[in-house]
Amino acid sequence: MANVGNTSGSTRFEEVCREMTQLNDEIQKLNVDDFGANEEARKKITDMTTKLKELYEETVMKTKLKELYEETVMKETVKEMKETQQ
């Protein structure tokens, strides 16, 4: 089984995606008589990897939107404070 350590700067999503990709590669290398089971397992891992990547991208986007919103609110608050002081 693939073992992926925590590399600096990587998120848990990225680690899981890498591990699933490695597992997919290992399944492809196996010499298994039941080709159908092998292909089904590989497809499931590929599907899970895709879903994880989508979730990761969605999470990153939400974080960026939240940061942008907070920055905008802060700028508006500072602007209002300056206008009130004048």
pLDDT class of 76 with cuts at 50, 70, 90: very high
On whether residue 58 sits in a domain, the answer given is yes
Residue type, 85: Q
Name the domain count of the chain.
1
Nearest-angstrom CA–CA distance, 58 and 52: 10
pTM for this entry = 0.49
Domain-embedded: residue 4: no
pLDDT category, 31, cuts 50, 70, 90?
A: low
Domain that holds residue 56: 12-85
Helices (H), the chain: 12-29, 35-85
C-beta separation of 55 from 80 below 8 A: no
Residue 52 has pLDDT above 80, yes or no: yes
Judge whether 3 lies within some domain. Answer: no
